[in-house]
C-alpha cells in the first residue's frame, strides 16, 4: 500500500501540477481554512490526547501554523525567484543565478507532543516549495492522527498530499520507499533508524530531535523573573516539549532561592492543586508515565512529586541536589521533572555542558554581559535564548534545528522552504565573444593558462591582454545587469 501511495504521488508530481506558484498558494489557503474552520475539532482531539485546553492549543500550535501559512503565501514569489550571484570576468556576459526547485516527494514523520504543528509546519514549507508529500502522524496521539487522516483530503489536493496512519510497521514500510527528502521529528534513537533507512536511497534528511537542554542561572540576575519564565517553559504541555529546559545549573548559594521562586510561580500558574487546573496537561500514555516516575528514584524532591496512574498525572516536580551520575541526568526527561544540579561557577557550568551531547537548546539567565558572552562563545547548541526559554522557536526568521545528537537541518519560515528545495546552480552563456575562450582550448601554453586563470578570478592583470573597447563593453554590460537585478 505504502509503495503505491508514493508511486502515485510521484506520477502526479512529475506532471508538473505543483510548479505554478498559484497552485501552491491555493493549497496554502486551503490549509489555512482547515485550521480555522475545524479548530474546534482539533481542540477536542488534543483535549483527548493530552488534556490540553483551548487556549494552550492556540498558543502552542495553531497560531504558529497560521503565521507560517500566511508568511509563505505572502513571500512565496520572493522565495521561489532566481537569486542572482556575483560573477567573475569570465562570466560577465552571462546570466548566473540560483534557482530554487521542488525536490519531489517528501515524507514528513511527526511526533505526538505537538501533533499538529510538528506535521503542518513542515508541510507548509513542502507545499510552498512545490513538493508532493506523505505525512505520517504519530500513533500515540491517536485522536489527532485520526482527525488529520479525515480532514486533510477534504481540504488539500489528495493526489498530491497523503496521510498514512498506523504504528511502527507502517512507518517501517514507508521508510523502505524512495523519497526525495525525509523530515523527521522525534527521539535521537529513532532518528538514527530514519537516517539509516534514508541512506539506502541516498535520501537527504532533516532530523528534529531533542536531548537535554541545559538552563544556567547566574547569581547575578533577576532570579524571580528567571524562575517565572523557566517554570512556564518547563511545565507547559506537562514538560513534553523538545526544547523545554531539561535541568538547571546554578551555584549552591542560590539553589534555595530558586526552589522558593518556582514554588511561588507554580502556585500562581496552577493554584494549590495542579491536577485540577485546566492549564495543566497529562502524560501521553502509561508507558511514558512509568518511565518518568522511575527517573525520580535517586532524587530528593523539593517540590511536587505526586502522581496518579489512572490519569497519567505527574505533578510539577523540582528535584534538588541532583548529581551528574543519577539516572535522570542520563536521558532526556520529556516530562514535568526539573532537576537542579549545583556547580561552582560559570566555568564549571560550561564544562558540564560541553562534556555532554550537544543540546537542541541552551538557556542562560544573567545580567552580566561577560557571562552571556562566555556562554555563547564557549558552548554550542541548536539554538539559544538568553534570559528566557523557548522563545527563539517563535521567531520565524531564526532557523530552528539541532546540531550533533540533537539533529540536523533547520526549518521555520523561509528556512523550511529552503530546506525542502533544491538550489540549482544555473549559468546561461551566449555564443558571442568566442575568441575569449581561446585561453582554455588546446593547444595549451603557459601564456594561455595565465590568461584563463586571470579570467576565472577576474584578475586586473588580464586587462593588458584585452582591447579597451572590449573592457568597456564588459563594464557597461555588468552595470546593465546589476540594475536589472535591483
Catalytic residue among 208, 260, 348, 357: 208
Q: Which of 363, 353, 358, 360 is nearest to 386 (CA)?
A: 363
How far apart are the C-alpha atoms of 96 and 33, rounded to whole Å?
39
Query: 100 pairs with which residues across the strands?
Result: 423
Question: Is 113 in a helix, a strand, or coil?
Answer: coil
Strands 383-386, 361-365: pairing kind:
parallel
User: Which residues face 422 on adjacent strands?
Assistant: 101
* Axis crossing angle, helix 39-50 with helix 21-37, rounded to the nearest 10: 60
Q: Tell me the C-alpha distance between 37 and 57, whole Å.
A: 15
Round to whole Å and give the CA distance between 378 and 370.
12
Is the separation of the CB atoms in 154 and 136 below 8 Å? no
Lateral strand order in the sheet of 407-408: 161-163, 132-136, 105-109, 181-185, 205-208, 407-408
Query: What's the CA gap between 21 and 127, in Å, rounded?
Result: 10
Q: Is residue 208 among the annotated active site residues?
A: yes
Cβ contact 227:265 at 8 Å: yes
Which residues are within 8 A (CB) of 78 and not within 5 positions of it... i.e. 6 or more apart?
A: none
Query: What are the φ and ψ backbone dihedral angles of 247, each rounded to 5 degrees?
Result: -155, 160
- Rounded Cα distance, 369 and 364, in Å: 11
Distance, CA of 343 to CA of 48 (rounded, Å): 41
**Parallel, antiparallel, or unpaired for β 181-185 and 161-163?**
unpaired
Give the other-Cβ count within 10 Å of 248's Cβ: 29
What angle separates helix 117-128 from helix 63-80, to the nearest 10 degrees?
20
Residue 294 CB partners (closer than 8 Å, separation 6+): 327
Which residues are known catalytic residues? 208
Amino acid at each position: 500500500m505504502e509503495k503505491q501511495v508514493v508511486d502515485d504521488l510521484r506520477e502526479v508530481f512529475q506532471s508538473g501540477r505543483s510548479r505554478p506558484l498559484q497552485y501552491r498558494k491555493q493549497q496554502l489557503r486551503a490549509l489555512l481554512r482547515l485550521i480555522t474552520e475545524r479548530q474546534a475539532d482539533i481542540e477536542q482531539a488534543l483535549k483527548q490526547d493530552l488534556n490540553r485546553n483551548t487556549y494552550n492549543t492556540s498558543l502552542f500550535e495553531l497560531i504558529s501554523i497560521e503565521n507560517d501559512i500566511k508568511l509563505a503565501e505572502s513571500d512565496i514569489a520572493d522565495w521561489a525567484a532566481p537569486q542572482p550571484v556575483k560573477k567573475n570576468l569570465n562570466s560577465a556576459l552571462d546570466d548566473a543565478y540560483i534557482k530554487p526547485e521542488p525536490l519531489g516527494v517528501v515524507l514528513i514523520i511527526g511526533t505526538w507532543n505537538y501533533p499538529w504543528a510538528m506535521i503542518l509546519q513542515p508541510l507548509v514549507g513542502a507545499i510552498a516549495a512545490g513538493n508532493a508529500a506523505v505525512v505520517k502522524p504519530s500513533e500515540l496521539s491517536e485522536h489527532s492522527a485520526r482527525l488529520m487522516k479525515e480532514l486533510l483530503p477534504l481540504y488539500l489536493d489528495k493526489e498530491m498530499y497523503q496521510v498514512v496512519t498506523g504504528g511502527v510497521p507502517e512507518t517501517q514500510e514507508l521508510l523502505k520507499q524512495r523519497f526525495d527528502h525525509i523530515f523527521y521529528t522525534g527521539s535521537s534513537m529513532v532518528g538514527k533508524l530514519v537516517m539509516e533507512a534514508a541512506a539506502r536511497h541516498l535520501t537527504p534528511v532533516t532530523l528534529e530531535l531533542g536531548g537535554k537542554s541545559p538552563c544556567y542561572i547566574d547569581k547575578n540576575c533577576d532570579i524571580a523573573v528567571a524562575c517565572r519564565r523557566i517554570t512556564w517553559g518547563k511545565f507547559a504541555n506537562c514538560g513534553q516539549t523538545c526544547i523545554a529546559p531539561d535541568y538547571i545549573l546554578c551555584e549552591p548559594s542560590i539553589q534555595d532561592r530558586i526552589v522558593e521562586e518556582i514554588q511561588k510561580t507554580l502556585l500562581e500558574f496552577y493554584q494549590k492543586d495542579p491536577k485540577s487546573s485546566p492549564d495543566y496537561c497529562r502524560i501521553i500514555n502509561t508507558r511514558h508515565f512509568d518511565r518518568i516516575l522511575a527517573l525520580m528514584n535517586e532524587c530528593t524532591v523539593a517540590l511536587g512529586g505526586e502522581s496518579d496512574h489512572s490519569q497519567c498525572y505527574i505533578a510539577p516536580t523540582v528535584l534538588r541536589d541532583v548529581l551528574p551520575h543519577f539516572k535522570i541526568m542520563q536521558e532526556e526527561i520529556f516530562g514535568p521533572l526539573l532537576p537542579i544540579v549545583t556547580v561552582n561557577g560559570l566555568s564549571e557550568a560550561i564544562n558540564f555542558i560541553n562534556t555532554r551531547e550537544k543540546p537542541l537548546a541552551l538557556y542562560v539567565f544573567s545580567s552580566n554581559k561577560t557571562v552571556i558572552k562566555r556562554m555563547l562563545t564557549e558552548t554550542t547548541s541548536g539554538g539559544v535564548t538568553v534570559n528566557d526559554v523557548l522563545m527563539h522557536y517563535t521567531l520565524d526568521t531564526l532557523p530552528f534545528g539541532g546540531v550533533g545528537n540533537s539533529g540536523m537541518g533547520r526549518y521555520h519560515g523561509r528556512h523550511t522552504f529552503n530546506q525542502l528545495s533544491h538550489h540549482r546552480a544555473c549559468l546561461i552563456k551566449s555564443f558571442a565573444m568566442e575568441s575569449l575562450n581561446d585561453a582554455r582550448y588546446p593547444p595549451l601554453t603557459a601564456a594561455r593558462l595565465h590568461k584563463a586563470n586571470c579570467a576565472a578570478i577576474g584578475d586586473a592583470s588580464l586587462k593588458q591582454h584585452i582591447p579597451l573597447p572590449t573592457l568597456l563593453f564588459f563594464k557597461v554590460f555588468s552595470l546593465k545587469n546589476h540594475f536589472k537585478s535591483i
